Amino acid sequence: MIPSGWARWARCSIVSERPNSLHLGVLGGTGLPGNVRTFLSNFRTLLQEALVDFDCDLILSDDVVPISGYRTIDPGIGDPDCAVDVIRTLTTATTAYARSRPVDLFVQVTKFPVHGVASVLAGRRTGVPVLTRLAGDNFREHRLSTGPADRARTFALNNLLGRLPVRLADATIVLGPHGREAIRSRNAGATVHEIPQPVDRERFSRVTSERRRALRADLGMPSVNESRVLLTVGRLTRRKGTHHLLRAARELAARGINYRWYVLGDGPLGEELPAVPLIESVGRVPHDRIADYYRAADLLVHPSLIEGLPNVLLEATACGLPSLARDVGECGTVASRTYDDPSALSELVTYEYERPTLDERFDPDRLREAFVETLVETAATGAQYLGANIS
């Protein structure tokens, strides 16, 4: 099978030029969490203005709501129960997909140990090159397990089976220096591209001081001169550091500090929020309304114990909101300040931080060029192979 966009270049043995089009098979699997949907939507928006025409298939269970700009294809994913079954099913489905239509490149965007394994196995079966993406701190995840059995399973999945995509992928995208080190320490010869995720600049942007004051009133927050407003957005779990948030709020209240701490999200620890002083539990908020909370607040607090590069930090920064985050993953590349000791949180939230802006790494044109170059170069590995084997 000759991949569609690269067929002419392969026959001519010329792969240094960019093709007019590339056909991508993006692995979505059995579900798309909100942060992954956000990435895929922003990623597709970037590519729409590229000089190369990207035809994007999303290999996804047809039970999942599709995403604009992708052709959803379910080659028989089903509803597997465990990680090993997901790998087996997704490998078979992705292989069938590639054998039924021309495709230039598999792109794995989430669940690196599971989808990454499936993508490289399908790539080996079909000759399609594979671009993986390490978006989280998967190799440390076992440290947050709740017991020996769970820790052993998580370690085996992420750190043993998860070495397959590290070793076999044609290239890997990471979000920052932490991810680069995670891949290179396990495969010194890996091709690694450091590309953070894009941000929707139209939805997340600064507003004037006058508009900010109006938003505080609209959201029922105290006025700018009345009280400092802290904001936390995310799942309310121990993994996300919610227990440290609760302790910090209690400590602030005990010191008589009159802040308001707005918490957006839900989860098992949400039941504890109403009893904690200072905290205003908002619950889940539609993604298109979160920007106003970023614009209105004084500080974003992100106490998560494990991360890649959280969308909330990028979105808050795009809105000019300073952020305080645990020093994990790539948080230190964006947050106004990071910390290691959770006992310091109640003190750090009292500090003043400058209003930030996203640096040049997040410039849309720069990100577009980085993604296009990486996609084209990785697809070319397959074209080079084909060019050497076409009579």
Can you give the pLDDT at residue 129?
A: 98
Can you give the pLDDT at residue 291?
A: 98
Can you give the pLDDT at residue 358?
A: 96
Residues 90/25, Cβ–Cβ less than 8 Å: no
Residues 111/90, Cβ–Cβ less than 8 Å: no
Decide if 7-198+364-389 and 209-357 have a common fold. yes
Question: Across residues 166-193, what is the average pLDDT?
Answer: 98
pLDDT by residue (tens digit) across 50-81?
999 999 999 999 888 999 999 999 999 988 88
Query: If pLDDT is split at 50, 70 and 90, which confidence band does 4 have?
Result: low
Instruction: Please tell me the least confidently modeled range out of 59-73, 185-199, 290-304.
Output: 59-73
CA–CA distance, 379 with 130 (Å, rounded to integer): 8
CA–CA distance, 349 with 257 (Å, rounded to integer): 11
- The CATH homologous superfamily to which domain 7-198+364-389 belongs is Glycogen Phosphorylase B; (3.40.50.2000)
Q: Which class in CATH covers the domain with range 209-357?
A: alpha beta
Decide if pLDDT at 9 tops 60.
Answer: no
For 122-137, the DSSP string reads HHHHHT--EEEEE-S-
Place of tokens 């910090």: 248
Can you give the pLDDT at residue 79?
A: 84
Residue 324 DSSP code: E
Place of tokens 């010194």: 188
Can you give the pLDDT at residue 286?
A: 92
% the chain with pLDDT above 70: 93
Can you give the pLDDT at residue 384?
A: 52
pLDDT by residue (tens digit) across 18-37?
789 999 999 998 889 999 99
CA–CA distance, 37 with 182 (Å, rounded to integer): 25
Can you give the pLDDT at residue 202?
A: 94
Can you give the pLDDT at residue 63?
A: 86
Can you give the pLDDT at residue 62?
A: 84
Question: Across residues 224-251, what is the average pLDDT?
Answer: 96
Nearest to 320 by CA among 298, 289, 301: 298
Question: Across residues 245-250, what is the average pLDDT?
Answer: 97
The residue ranges of every structural domain in the chain are 7-198+364-389, 209-357
Rounded to two decimals, what is the model's pTM? 0.92
227: tokens are: 């009280």
Tell me the HSE value of 130 on the side-chain side, using a 13 A CA sphere. 30
CA–CA distance, 116 with 120 (Å, rounded to integer): 6
What phi, psi does 69 have (nearest 5°)? 95, -5
H or E element at residue 108: strand 105-108
Decide if pLDDT at 12 tops 80.
Answer: no
For 124-143, b/e burial (b = at least 16 CB within 10 A) is eebebbbbbbbbbbbbbbbe
